[in-house]
Amino acid sequence: MCDTMVARPTATANGGLIFAKNSDREANEAQAICAYPAAEHEPGGRLKCTYIDIPQVRQTHAVLLSRPYWMWGAEMGANDQGLVIGNEAVFAKKAPPEEAALLGMDLLRLALERAATADQAVEIIADLLAEHGQGGNCGHTANFEYHNSFLIADGHGRAVVMETMGSEWAVEEVASIRSISNTYTIGSKIDRESAGLRDAIEALGWNRENEPLHLADAIAHRVVGKVSSGQVRWCRTTDLLEQKEGQITAADMMATLRDHGSKAEDDPEWKPDGGLGGTVCAHASWGPLRRAGQTTGSWITEFRDGRPIHWITGTSAPDTGVFKPVFFGPGWGEVTLPDFGPMPTGEFNEDALWWCHEQLHRAVLLDYVPRLNAYVEDRVALEAQFQDEVAKFIIGSASPQDAGILAERCWTAASNAEEKWLEKVKNLPPRRTGRPSALHRRHWNGLNRAAGLSTF
C-alpha cells in the first residue's frame, strides 16, 4: 500500500514541480536505490522483466530507481529526461489477472527507460498493456495481485494520473495538486481513455444509456478499497496538500510522507502498534491488512530552475530516517551518484544501507515516543542543513562535479548520524507504559527471526 503526490509549479513556493511517494510493502522486503545508464541495444533483442520476456527497444534512458530487491521493476523512480513516476495498487470489481505478465512496477520502469515526457509515458504504458497485459504475483512472501494506477510527472511541469483495469485505462490531467492511493480516484473528468474502457465497465454493470461515467464509482471494489484504507489516506494527503497549496515545498512533502494522521496529532503518546492501518507513514503490525503495510522507501523530486533534485531515504519508516539529496537528470550531466552500498536481500546485512537503518527503526519501535524524541531534533537540524546547503549550491556554481561531492557528503553525514542515534536510543530503557502491544511484539519478533535480527 502506498501514497503518491504531486504539486505542479503553480502550487509550489519556488515555482517548480514537486513529486513525492511512500512505497509500502512487506516489512522485510528491502528496497534498493539503483542507477542504470542509458544504453543502445541490438535489433531484435529481448528484455527479461520480473516474470516475462518482451522485445527490447533500440535505446533506453538512464534511470534512478527505488525497487524491491527481488523484482526487475521499481516502485518509484526518475530518468535522465526529468520524468518521474510512482505507482499504486488498486482494486477493481474485476479481479486482477493471476497469470504472469508485466507487473505495475515493470510498467513503471519500462516507461522511465523509454519515455521522455508524461504524455510519452502514458502512450508506452498503454501500448505495453495492450500487447503484454499486467498480472502476476506482486507479493514478497505472500500472493498479492492487483491492478495499477500511476502518477506521472515531468520536468516541463506536467502531471497526469493514469488508472488501469487489466489492459484498459483512463487518464486525468492534473491541474494543480493531486494525490493517489490504493483506491481508484479518477471520477467524471477523463481526459483520455482506452478504446475498450467503456465496454469493459459496462460488463461490470454500468448502464451506458442512463448513467454518466464516474470511473471510480463504476469500477472500484469498495470493500477492498476501504479495508486497505486507500480512501482514508487519499483524503488525508489531499487535505494536507490543499492546506499548503501555492506554497508547497519539499519540506512540506517530507512532513506529509511522515504523517500519522489526526489521531497521532492529538495523542502525544501515540505509537504504531494497532491492528488497523490508515496512515501515510505506514507501520507493519499484527493485523492481517497491516502485514504488507510498512513504508519501505520514500522519495521526493523537486525541480529548481528546470533541474531535478531527488530527496531519498533509501530506508524504511521515514519518521525514523533521513531524506538525503541526489542530483540526477537534466542539467546534471555525468554527475557522480552517492555510494548506495550493496544490494540488500530479505535477510539482515549490516553493510546494506536499508538493513543498517532497520536496526534504528526497530529499536525505536520498542518505545516509540521517547526513543524517537531522543534524536528527532538532531534529524530535523540535519535535514535543514542539507536543504540549506542545496539551496545555496543551486544559486552558486552548481556544477555536476560539485553536485556529486555534496550529495556524497550528505549521505555520509546521515549514515554517521544514524550510528550515533542508534547508540543513544539503545541507552534508553523501554518504559512498561511505552512498550508496544504483545501482538505487535510477537509480529515483529517473527519478522526479526526471519531476517536474522535479534528479537524484541
Contact present, 369 and 269 (Cβ < 8 Å)? yes
The CATH number that applies at residue 46 is 3.60.60.10
Distance CA 447, CA 439 (A): 13
Distance CA 301, CA 310 (A): 4
Distance CA 437, CA 324 (A): 33
> 281 catalytic, yes or no?
no
Domain contains 401: no
| Confidence tier at 399 by pLDDT (50, 70, 90) | very high
The number of domains in the chain is 1
Grid cell at residue 398: 552548481
Say what the pTM is: 0.97
Give Cα separations from 88 to 22, 31, 146, 149, 157 (angstroms): 10, 16, 9, 5, 21
Q: Is the pLDDT of residue 314 over 80?
A: yes
Domain contains 429: no
Out of 17-21, 163-167, 290-294, least confident range: 290-294
Distance CA 435, CA 431 (A): 6
Task: Give the count of beta carbons closer than 10 Å to the beta carbon of residue 435.
Answer: 17
Taking only the tens place, the pLDDT of each residue in 99-111 is 999 999 999 999 9
Q: Considering the chain, what is the average pLDDT of its residues? A: 95
Q: Is the pLDDT of residue 288 over 70?
A: no
Q: Is the pLDDT of residue 291 over 70?
A: no
Contact present, 7 and 245 (Cβ < 8 Å)? yes
Distance CA 299, CA 59 (A): 26
Taking only the tens place, the pLDDT of each residue in 214-257 is 999 999 998 887 778 899 999 999 999 999 999 999 999 999 99
Taking only the tens place, the pLDDT of each residue in 10-28 is 999 999 999 999 999 999 9
Distance CA 207, CA 237 (A): 32
Q: What is residue 292's predicted lDDT score, i.e. its pLDDT?
A: 65
Distance CA 145, CA 98 (A): 7
Q: Is the pLDDT of residue 307 over 70?
A: yes
Contact present, 275 and 231 (Cβ < 8 Å)? no
The residue-averaged pLDDT of 188-196 equals 97
Domain contains 12: yes
**pLDDT-above-90 percentage for the chain:** 87
| Confidence tier at 416 by pLDDT (50, 70, 90) | very high
Taking only the tens place, the pLDDT of each residue in 441-452 is 999 999 999 999
The residue-averaged pLDDT of 377-393 equals 98
Q: What is residue 276's predicted lDDT score, i.e. its pLDDT?
A: 67
Taking only the tens place, the pLDDT of each residue in 135-163 is 999 999 988 999 999 999 999 999 999 99
Q: What share of the chain is helix, strand, coil (3-state, %, to 5)?
A: 35, 20, 45
Domain contains 252: yes
Task: Give the count of beta carbons closer than 10 Å to the beta carbon of residue 97.
Answer: 15
Taking only the tens place, the pLDDT of each residue in 36-94 is 999 999 999 999 999 999 999 999 999 999 999 999 999 999 999 999 999 999 999 99
The residue-averaged pLDDT of 368-396 equals 97
Under DSSP, the state recorded for 50 is S
| Confidence tier at 210 by pLDDT (50, 70, 90) | confident
| Confidence tier at 97 by pLDDT (50, 70, 90) | confident
Q: Is the pLDDT of residue 397 over 80?
A: no
For cell 515545498, the residue is: 249
| Confidence tier at 211 by pLDDT (50, 70, 90) | confident
The residue range of the domain holding 169 is 3-262+272-334
Q: What is residue 455's predicted lDDT score, i.e. its pLDDT?
A: 67
The residue-averaged pLDDT of 307-328 equals 98
Of the candidates 2, 138, 281, 356, the residue annotated as catalytic is 2
Which value, in Å, is the radius of gyration of the alpha carbons in the chain? 21
Domain contains 353: no
Distance CA 170, CA 37 (A): 31
Query: How many helices and strands, by DSSP H and E, does the chain display?
Result: 13, 18
48 Cβ contact partners less than 8 Å away, ≥ 6 residues apart: 72
Under DSSP, the state recorded for 310 is E
The residue-averaged pLDDT of 334-354 equals 96
Q: Is the pLDDT of residue 362 over 80?
A: yes
